[in-house]
Every structure is written in structure tokens, then in C-alpha cells.
Structure 1
Amino acid sequence: PINLKTTKSQILHHHISSVEKLPLSTSGCPLIIRCKNFRLLHLLLPREKECQNVYQSLLRLSQPVKYEELFAFLYNPKQNEQQRREGWAFIDTATDFNRMGLPNDYWEISDLNKDYEMCSTYPSTLVVPKIASQATVMGSAKFRSRGRLPALSYFHRETKVRWAAICRCSQPLSGFSARCVEDEQMLQAISQANPNCPFMYVVDTRPKLNAMANRAAGKGYENEGNYSNIRFNFQGIENIHVMRNSLQKLLEVCALKSPSMSDYLTGLENSGWLRHIKAVMDAGVFLAKAVADEQASVLVHCSDGWDRTAQVCSVACILLDPFYRTMKGLMMLLEKEWISMGHKFTQRCGFLDGDPKEVSPVFTQFVECVWNLTEQFPCAFEFNERFLIDIHDNIYACQFGNFIGNCQKEREELKIQETTFSLWPFLLKQQEWYRNPLYKRSVKSGPLRPNTLPLHFKFWCGMYNRFDKGMHPKQSVLDLLLALTQKKTESERKMTDLQRVSGILRFEYFQSICSDSFKGKGCFCADQRFQERSAGILLN
């Protein structure tokens, strides 16, 4: 336990997940603080009254009831309004769609949701099939849970023969027999936007039993008999409640003091955490193979299309497109697939005092999938694990406004861009700290093909045990590589300078020989001038 009389320790109050007050002991009054960045603190206060005051204060600070109480609305990095606006404009999802070649002959940018009336949790603009009429788009929205109609996430233009796309939506309101002509037309339009492929995949990321249970509530999944040329696939990723319990069991294993190998491995297996990470990765790999190998378009959904769907589409995008393996590319992916498409960060991350059953480590799982990919392909990613960890921790810190709110409509109502600052420019100021020294832009420029056998999934000690200093070397391999890379860069710079100086001196030397009228004396004088000039330039 930390004795507050002798030890200082800093934690952000928004990072606090729970505070537990234990019974008074002969040593003092203990408090246990569990943090969202997986830090675990045992505090020992000398008196009961002090402990109670600290306990109540921490509970209040860590469970704000209003958005305005979050740190982002108070944080002032001493930037003016122009710098604030430039920070928010730095990542614009419209530029990413332009990079993909959109709009084009098959896809268009639609503003049918400009007032958020068609779907309150989608962005104001969506990419939809060009041949889909306004009636088709709006009719499909009415047949999808919470109005989350099929919209494009990623357009793959690897070849000029087929134009495969990844689209996402929520589950249909089909029940056991209901159907919707407009929704069927919408899927047909997606299929026709890839004219040289005779079919498209519809991927339900849920276990089939869960999807069937939703049919009893009037929801469920697509009836293949009602939709033309679709191939249906279930992926079996569990729901947010299973994931929350799994992480809790994992953290209990991490908190064990000197466990035996048997206890550790049994606890890790019983948590099921790596099994869930594998399930997300498997689904992403399925999408990537469908697009890259079969050139088939894919429509992805779970229940509401903002948790498992975001995970799977994001993993597939990283596998397919090397841009998303760069720092700026990952920022763009988070803006496009998570922030703008309505992942409920406030509820899933527990920013405000609310229903604990809505909290779940959905984003943490995605970040861990990316980390596993960096382990399999160490030269394919521009960033290192620090970049992933700092993004993860900044989300929970609530210092920046990017992730506050559950959707774009809510962020506009909160005036996030007028009252808070964006995280992305602050991260890029430290890009040397986040740079992967092994990164080679030319390596794996095409799709990544990870091995998803169980033995390739590792426990992420750098995330979950990073505060256990005894588990990590004094100098990590990453630090050593970064130091060597910096030395190499400095040596190359010095060599370039020397080559430049050498060129100047050679030119002056031969110029002096040609201009000197006395041959013998001229050579001697030129040699002398060469040596003096050399010494002067090198000293400077």
C-alpha cells in the first residue's frame, strides 16, 4: 500500500474507475483505487475521518453528472481561436473519401441526414449508392434499428475491374417474417455498385443464437430469400456485457501478487479475453479477404451497428489499406469509423455517472487488435505501442473533446469544437516519440494477411501491467531502437555536411590551381589554402 505521508502519486480523477474503502486496520484506513488505464493503487490513510473524506471526494470527482464538469471544458492549452479551429480541421473525413476516389460513378455523398432526422446517431453526410433513390434510402433507414441504414465505410479500388466496398448498418427490423422493399433495393444497389461481382456478403458479427433471439423482439437478421444475390455469414463476437465481465476477470489475474504459472494461465484462459480478441480479428480478416481476394462487397452489422461493427470494419480497413497504418491514417480511421459513425464513447467509457451496464471495453479491444497486428508485422506500421496506449488513455482522461458525446449530433449540441480542443495536433507534436523505428513504407503496401491461430495472440503486458515497474526492463527494446535510430540519423546528417564541405573545398582547390600564374608556387599556395579553408569550415 502507498503511505500518503511518505509517497506522492498522481492520477487523473477522470481515470478513476472505482474507489473501494476497506475496514479500518491497525495500520490505518485502506482505500483501493482502480483506474481506467489499468493502474491499481492501494492507499493507506492514518485516520478514519480523513479516509472517508478522501473516499467521498474521489467518488464525486470521478463520477461527474454533467458534460460541463469534464476536464475538456476547463482545459486551456494557451491557444487562440484560430489555432483551435485549425486543430479541429486537421482531420476531415471528407478528405479520406476523396482519397478513395469518392464520389464516383457508383457512389455519391448524400445530405439526406443533414438535420439528423433520418438517423440521429449518424453523421450529417453519408456515402450511399448513386442509383439508390431518396425513397429507397429513407425507406431502408426506417427498416433498420435506430435508423442506421447501410452506408459506405471503405471503398477498395485496387483494380479497375471490380469496385468492392465495405458498408455498415444496424440489424433489420425483420422479426420472423417482416420485409421492406426499400431495404431490399438498398442492398441490391450496393451489389450493383460492384458490377463485375455476382454476389455480396452480409456479415452479422453476433453469435447466431443472439441474432435469433432478437427476432423475437421484432429485429434479427436478413432473410436470404428476400434479398437477391447475398451470402450470409455469422461471426460470433459476444455482446458488451460478456466483454465487460471478461475484462474484469483479466484484471483480477493482473492484480495477483506472485501467482504460480498454473494460476496465471488458468486465470487468463478463464477470462476468455484473448479468445474475444481473436474473434474480432477473425471477423476483420474475413472482411479483408472477401474484398481483396474475392473482390466482393460486404455489408456489416451487429445489433445497433456502433460497437462490434466499428471494431470489425476498422480492423478490415487497417488490413486492406496501408494509409491506416500511419499515425495520421489511424486518426482518420477513428474519426470516420468511431466518432462520426456514433460509437457511444460517453456510455461505453463511463465519462458520466450513469448505468454501469452500458460500460464496456469495446474500444480497448480494437486497440489491442491493432497492437497484435503490429507484433505480427513490425515493419508495416508507422507508429509504436505508445501511440496506441496514449490514444487509449487520452480518451478516458477527457482532456480533449474528440471523444466526448455519443454521436455527432450530441457533439454539435455541446458545441465541442467551440469549447474544447482536438487531440490530434497534440499527438503529432510528439510524433518522434510515437514513431516505429522499424517502419518501412514500402513493406506490405498491399493487404496484410495475419495468422489468427491462437498461438499468435499475446497478452499485452505493456497495456495491462505497465505500472508494475518490476516487470519491465530499465531500457525497453523500443527505447534502444529509437536511440539507435536517432544516432544513425545524426551520423547521416554529419556525413552529408562533410560531403558538402568536401565538394566546396575541392571546387575552390582546383579553381585556385587554374588561376595561379606561378606553377610551383601556385600549387603550394593552393594546397595551403585548401588545408586552412578545410579547418575553418569544419570548425564552424
Structure 2
Amino acid sequence: MINQVDDVEMVRRGVHTPGTLHLTTHHLIFREDPPSGKEVWVCYPIMAYVERRPFSAFTGFSALRIRCRDFAFLSFNFKNERDSKAVFETLMALACVPIVDHLYAFYYHPGSAERTVNTWNIYDPVKEFQRMGVGTTVKSWRITTINENYQFCPTYPRVLVVPTAVPDSVLSYAARYRSKARIPTLSYIHPLNNCTITRCAQPLVGLKQNRSAQDERFIHAIFTTTTVPNTYGASQENLIVDARPTTNAIAQTALGAGSENMENYKFARKVYLGIDNIHVMRESLNKVYEALKDSDITPLPPNRELLYKSGWLKHISTVMEGAILMGKRIHYYHSHVLVHCSDGWDRTAQLSSLAQIFLDPYFRTIDGFIMLVEKEWLACGHRFAERCGHLSSEKSFVQVSDKGGINGSQSTAHQAFSNVMSAAKSAAEKASAGGGGGPSSHGASLKYTAPIFHQFLDCVYQLLRQFPDRFEYQERFLRRMLYHLYSCQYGTFLYNNEQERVDANVSERAQSVWDYFVVRKKEFINPRYVPDLDRGDRGADAVIFPDPKNIRWWHEAFGRTEEEMSVVSLTGIGSTATAHAAVQYQRRRQQHHQPQLQQPRPRSTPTSQAYTYDSLRDVASSTLSSWASSMAASSNAWANAASPYIASSSAYLSSAYPDALEQPRVSEPPSPYRPSHKSALSPTSSVSDSDVSLPASSRASQSATTIDDREFEDTQENEAIEKLAGMSLDPLDSYSLTHQGNSDEVYIPETQ
């Protein structure tokens, strides 16, 4: 264990800062030298991945690269191997704690402002359901105490709301037919028509196609709590929403579960939303991490191809589409919606929460959003400890050997240290079994981690961006919540359900995360908020429905600018420059109200020199750029070593083809057929609005940079232009090409 290391260099976004590294019980602290008052604090639970690289005589240092869950990327350079190893082993020992009780929340001492409030009881379920009308204006629903001691369903809250027509005896039988006994329970009553959102887990159908008369009676009672009003266009078609892809739901039948057989629920219709499971979402976010992974050592933008391949925006759009379907079914068609996924604590929480934000302006206020998170996520058993992985795994701490190997090539000393840590952790877990410390191994495995709550916050960000005057809270409110989801500074998100929090007595031993937001409420107020737009809270004007295709990267959460995250990248139909040129071309045509007519292609005599130069330039430029980027990613020394080679190669190309490298700029509109590419000889080159095609007349006169029409028609760029020109693109939405249309299995109905 080590407490302090002097003469350390921190690298962040390619900026090198000398200073001193301090390792406290719960934070890594870096202080600049000479002292300037600036410090960087990193709490251990927020570290997602730590990689140690051995000392290199070429670079002169040993590096420790840290990737954080809030998308902060840091690298620390040590002048000797001993300090590097000591810091690495200390970080692993402090981050990989054996039980929840060792997390920072149980040692955190709040400031004077937070000590004046106690928000553990900020959510009163009875008052929240009374606000919706349960027990007052709405007599068809009641509060049951069947789960008062958590024996009926350990993952549900004490307070459950069910139809008045369903007695507790029916609930007991119905629980046997739902996974984890998670029966349908009320989430929301729409004030306009008293239609509802109820949530549950999947039915235990199995290969034998089991059925439950009590479950069928239960759901029928839910759907008959209201009648269709005698108004034009009202047609009640109640909906059972299965959030999973069809194949996933069917596959669950082999495990004794599955989805409703609609022959037994003829009073409703069912849809599958095609939202992927936690493993797909985890891999999607990992690809985003990969696209951003060099953010510590280089100021270059993220890998846009990996951003696109991650599918993150497509998943966000799919979740939004499902919530919109639910909200519109309730608001416009006076219908009830029952939603579930597998166990009803991941995708179900996302969909139910978003639909309520669409329908109820109360949840678009700070107080209302806190109530929503408490009701739909914390009370209904979203597995925060398991999904967030607060107890970091030793697998997230990796040493790279001198030969470049990982894990298997770790040093004998490090393997011995890991074995000792694992043994100590196992002993501590066994010692704490049966105690009051709550679960002992949540998060120790990476298998069940997933960014489910992160996705929900991202969806809310999309709403904020599309409706900036309808939300009391601003983007920073969501970003700070995302940070404290992983910081473990507060006890709110440390457990998997309400019973675990009660058994751990967390309200007496740690602070609530809402303390942080309540005392700083003014800092999160949206200056563009217009509450008068939602004054008629029982009318149609208070409802909002977003455009699920108008999705952008939440660039603030990823620590990047909008320009860095939002440049178009279309895999399979062209390069980034090609797609960007196509969008710019269509935008200019729409601005000038020009009809979309085919322009004549240039005719020129093909020359072998032109084709050879194009190939040489593209290959040489790409190779040099990639080489320079990888060199710069290692250290400044590598970048300096690469500079003379890049300069000499550029000089060679310039002397060999002086006319081709210096093409004149013109002010005429670009051709829709062939965009020009900036020289990629510099690793910092990027696509700008000016990187568009030369007009046909200019290209025709330059035989050195043109090829035969027949060859040109076969190029990838031309195919991309033709495909993109046929898309219906809004000029102001030129960066929305990462998601076009619905996913494959959205809204597949299973009719009677």
C-alpha cells in the first residue's frame, strides 16, 4: 500500500500536467505542481478499468491508464516501475471491496448544507398514489398490504396497488404464475381518462403452455377499471406489451417462462418491442468506451466508426418508440397498458417511466422526477447493485507485460497478490453472511452489469433537447445523477430492492442522494422552462410525444463536444466524408429550392497516372495518418519521433504531384456525385463543411484527378451519394443518420 507519489505526470485529452498523486481511503487525488489550487478527485467505485503498462526505456516512464464510468479518461506516468506497481496494487485493493459496507457511502461526512435535510422519506407511496386518485377520485383501485413484510414478493415494495375487484386471495394464486411473484401492480393513472400503466414480470408459461385462471381474471379486472367514453374516435384496445424481441420471449419457454398465450387473453392485444437484453446493452456501451478509449493521451475526436457500430443510438430510439406506443395508446385510444420484460425490473422500468414523463408534466419537474425514480426504479426493485457493479472486479485491473501480454502474462508477484486478495475477499464474504450488512457480492461479477438506468437518463436527455421549455430540470441534473449512480457517495443506489435497504438499515447509516439535489436545487433549474405550458394538467396540452428518430449523442455525458460525437458515419455505404458531403449537398439544394435533378457527369479521358495517384495518395495518406495517430497515442515522444517521417513523406508527395495536392477552392455548389477528401497526412485532419465536391466543369478540366465514368459509377462514394440523396432528410437534422427507421422487431402484434 502506498499513500503518496511525487513527480507524477497526469495526461488528460493529450495535455500533460506534472504533480503529486495522493491515495486516500476512498479517493485518488492529483494535485498540480507547482501548487495552483487545482485538484482532480476520482472516487474508487467510479473506476471501470485500470491498465498498467510496464516501464519503457524508450518513453522513460511506466503508465497507469484509468477509464471511469462517467467517461473520464486519465493516464498517470511514473518515472520508475516500483511506484507504478505500488499504485496499481493499492488501487485494486481499495476499489475491489468485499462487501457493500466498505463503500464510501458509509464513511462520507456531508457538508453543513446537506446535514440540514433528510430525504430518505421524501417518497411516500400512499401520498403519490393518492395524488393520482387512488382511494379518492378513483374507486376502482385499492392499496393492499399483502407484501407488508416482503414475504409475498421480496423484490417488490411494501405498498402495492391492485384493482378493487381482486381480493388478496386471488393475488396469492396469481403470484405463482408470474416470475419472482412479481404480479401486475399499478404504476400510473392518466388523469384525463383514468387509463393505467401496470407492470409485472413474464408469465410462467413453459413448454406445456401453462395457464392461470387467477392471472387471467386479474388482468381482465385491470382492463375493465374504465369504460370507453362515448366520444368520436375513442376505441379501447387494451395492450399487453412484451418489451423483448420475439425470439427472446419464445426462447424463455424452454426455461419454464415465456409470454402470454393470447388465446387466453382475448380481451387484449399484445405487441413485442424488440428491446435487447442487458448483455447486448452492456456490449453496446463497451463499444462506445472503445471509441473514446484514447481520450486520455490524445485530443483527437473519438472513433466515429466504432460509435456507429455500437448501436447505442439505435437502442435509445427503440426504447423511445416503445414508450411512445404506450403513451399514445393510453392518451389517444383510452386504453390500458400492461408492460413486462423478463423479470420486470429493467426494460419495464424504462418504458413505464418514460411513458409517465410523456403523459404527466409533474414528472417533468425536479420533485416529480425524484418521485418517479423512487417509485419505478428503487421501490419496484431495479437491481442497482448488480447492474452498476459497485463492488469492482479484479478482472477490471489489468497489467500488460513487457511482451504486450495481458492477464495470462502477468507477473508472478501480481498473481500472488491477486490470489491473496481473492482469498481475503472470500473470507470476508463468508464472515458477513447472515449479518446486517446486506448483500456481500453484488457487482463482484461483470456478467450482470448493464447501463439500464444510464439508458433511461439518456432518453430523458433526448426529451430535454426536443422540448427545452417543458422541463424544470436541465441536462446537468441528469449528468450529476449519472455520476452519483456510480460514485457510491450516497446509499440510495447501493442495493437491489427495498427489502435490502431496510435490512441494511441504510437510512440510518448513510446519506440519501436526494440530499445532494435538494440543497442544490437552484443549480439545476432550467432557465428555458415555461411552466404555463403545462398548467392544464388534466388536458391534452400537457402531453408531449418526441420524435424517436431525432436522436443525438448525449455529448456532455461522454465528455465531448457535439461536433466530436455527431459527425455522420455510415458503415457499408460510404465514408464519413462521403456522407457529410451528401448531406451538405441536399441541404444547399433545399435552401435554394432547387429541384432534385440529375446533373451531367464529367466526361474526360482516363489516364493511368490519375488512377495511380488516387490510389497512392489514399493509401499513403491513410497509412501515415494511422501510423502518426498510434504513435501519438503512446506518448509525446512517439509523436515527435514520427513528425520528421510525416513531413518528409508529405514533401515527397507534394513534389511528385504538385498540382493534385493543391486543388483550387470554388464557390459554386458541389456536385452530388463525387466529394473531395481532405488530405489525411495529418492525424488531426477532419471533415468540415467546406469539404465538398468540385463542380463538374472544374473536374473535367483536371484530367489528373478524374477517372472514366464507367469506373466512377462503381465507386463506393457514388453509391453512397445515390442512397443518401433518396433519403428524406431535414436540413437541420443533418447528423441524424445513425438511426433510420424502426428496429427489426418493433411492434409485432400477436392478435387473437
Q: Note whether the superposition's TM-score is higher than 0.5.
A: yes
Distance change in 2, residues 1:42/1:81 (3 Å): closer
Equivalent-residue separation in structure 1 for 2:490 and 2:512 (angstroms)? 6
Check whether the contact 1:401–1:423 (CA below 8 A) recurs between aligned residues: yes
Give 1:195 shift: 2.9
- Which position in structure 2 is the counterpart of 1:99? 131
- For residue 156 of structure 1, the aligned residue among 174, 190, 199 is 190
- For residue 179 of structure 1, the aligned residue among 205, 211, 214 is 211
Report the secondary structure of 1:300's partner residue: strand
Equivalent-residue separation in structure 2 for 1:281 and 1:368 (angstroms)? 10
Check whether the contact 1:93–1:335 (CA below 8 A) recurs between aligned residues: no
- Deviation by residue 1:296-339 (Cα, 9 ceiling, x = unmatched): 11000000100000011011010010000001111000000000
Q: Which amino acid aligns with 2:476?
A: R
Matched, 1:457 2:551: yes
* Percent identity of paired positions between Structure 1 and Structure 2: 36
Equivalent-residue separation in structure 2 for 1:469 and 1:290 (angstroms)? 34
Distance change in 2, residues 1:134/1:470 (3 Å): closer
Matched, 1:15 2:49: no
Equivalent-residue separation in structure 1 for 2:564 and 2:276 (angstroms)? 31
- For residue 465 of structure 2, the aligned residue among 375, 378, 382 is 375
- The TM-score, its normalising length taken from structure 2, stands at 0.59
Q: Which amino acid aligns with 1:98?
A: Q
- Which position in structure 1 is the counterpart of 2:544? 448
Distance change in 2, residues 1:94/1:383 (3 Å): same
Equivalent-residue separation in structure 1 for 2:303 and 2:491 (angstroms)? 38
Counting only pairs closer than 5 Å after superposition, residues 124-143 of structure 1 correspond to structure 2 as 124-143=158-177
- Deviation by residue 1:387-414 (Cα, 9 ceiling, x = unmatched): 0011111121111111120000000010
Give 1:260 shift: 8.9
Counting only pairs closer than 5 Å after superposition, residues 136-535 of structure 1 correspond to structure 2 as 136-159=170-193, 163-176=194-207, 177-196=209-228, 198-256=236-294, 264-353=303-392, 354-444=444-534, 446-453=542-549, 456-466=550-560
Report the secondary structure of 1:225's partner residue: coil
Give 1:87 shift: 2.3
Matched, 1:119 2:153: yes
Equivalent-residue separation in structure 1 for 2:111 and 2:320 (angstroms)? 41
Q: Which amino acid aligns with 2:156?
A: Y
Q: Which amino acid aligns with 2:205?
A: S
- Deviation by residue 1:35-55 (Cα, 9 ceiling, x = unmatched): 111111111112212111111
Report the secondary structure of 2:354's partner residue: helix
Equivalent-residue separation in structure 1 for 2:300 and 2:271 (angstroms)? 41
Give 1:470 shift: 11
Check whether the contact 1:306–1:344 (CA below 8 A) recurs between aligned residues: yes
- The TM-score, its normalising length taken from structure 1, stands at 0.82
Distance change in 2, residues 1:111/1:97 (3 Å): same
Matched, 1:46 2:79: yes
Check whether the contact 2:240–2:338 (CA below 8 A) recurs between aligned residues: yes
Check whether the contact 2:236–2:334 (CA below 8 A) recurs between aligned residues: no
Check whether the contact 1:201–1:233 (CA below 8 A) recurs between aligned residues: yes
Distance change in 2, residues 1:34/1:128 (3 Å): same
Report the secondary structure of 1:417's partner residue: helix
Give 1:77 shift: 2.1
Report the secondary structure of 1:266's partner residue: helix
Equivalent-residue separation in structure 2 for 1:60 and 1:94 (angstroms)? 44
- For residue 55 of structure 1, the aligned residue among 70, 88, 102 is 88
Q: Which amino acid aligns with 2:391?
A: L
Q: Which amino acid aligns with 1:17?
A: A
Distance change in 2, residues 1:119/1:107 (3 Å): same
- Which position in structure 1 is the counterpart of 2:573? none
Equivalent-residue separation in structure 1 for 2:563 and 2:324 (angstroms)? 36
Q: Which amino acid aligns with 2:558?
A: Y
Equivalent-residue separation in structure 1 for 2:112 and 2:143 (angstroms)? 34
Report the secondary structure of 1:460's partner residue: coil
- Deviation by residue 1:184-208 (Cα, 9 ceiling, x = unmatched): 1111111111233754210000000
Check whether the contact 1:166–1:299 (CA below 8 A) recurs between aligned residues: yes
Give 1:80 shift: 12
Check whether the contact 1:191–1:199 (CA below 8 A) recurs between aligned residues: no
- Deviation by residue 1:489-525 (Cα, 9 ceiling, x = unmatched): xxxxxxxxxxxxxxxxxxxxxxxxxxxxxxxxxxxxx
Q: Which runs of 5+ in 1 are unaligned?
A: 473-540
Check whether the contact 1:144–1:173 (CA below 8 A) recurs between aligned residues: yes
Give 1:4 shift: 5.4
- Deviation by residue 1:196-235 (Cα, 9 ceiling, x = unmatched): 3754210000000000100111101000001230100000
Report the secondary structure of 1:21's partner residue: strand
Q: Which amino acid aligns with 2:100?
A: Y
Matched, 1:71 2:167: no
Check whether the contact 1:376–1:450 (CA below 8 A) recurs between aligned residues: yes
Check whether the contact 1:135–1:182 (CA below 8 A) recurs between aligned residues: no
Equivalent-residue separation in structure 2 for 1:469 and 1:172 (angstroms)? 43
Q: Which amino acid aligns with 1:109?
A: I
Check whether the contact 1:371–1:385 (CA below 8 A) recurs between aligned residues: yes
Matched residues, number: 464
Check whether the contact 1:4–1:43 (CA below 8 A) recurs between aligned residues: no
Give 1:90 shift: 2.4
- Deviation by residue 1:162-187 (Cα, 9 ceiling, x = unmatched): x2100000100011311111111111
Q: Which amino acid aligns with 1:458?
A: R
Check whether the contact 1:379–1:439 (CA below 8 A) recurs between aligned residues: yes
Check whether the contact 1:346–1:405 (CA below 8 A) recurs between aligned residues: yes
Give 1:21 shift: 1.1
Report the secondary structure of 1:127's partner residue: strand
Q: Counting helix residues as a fraction of each chain, which structure ranks higher?
A: 1
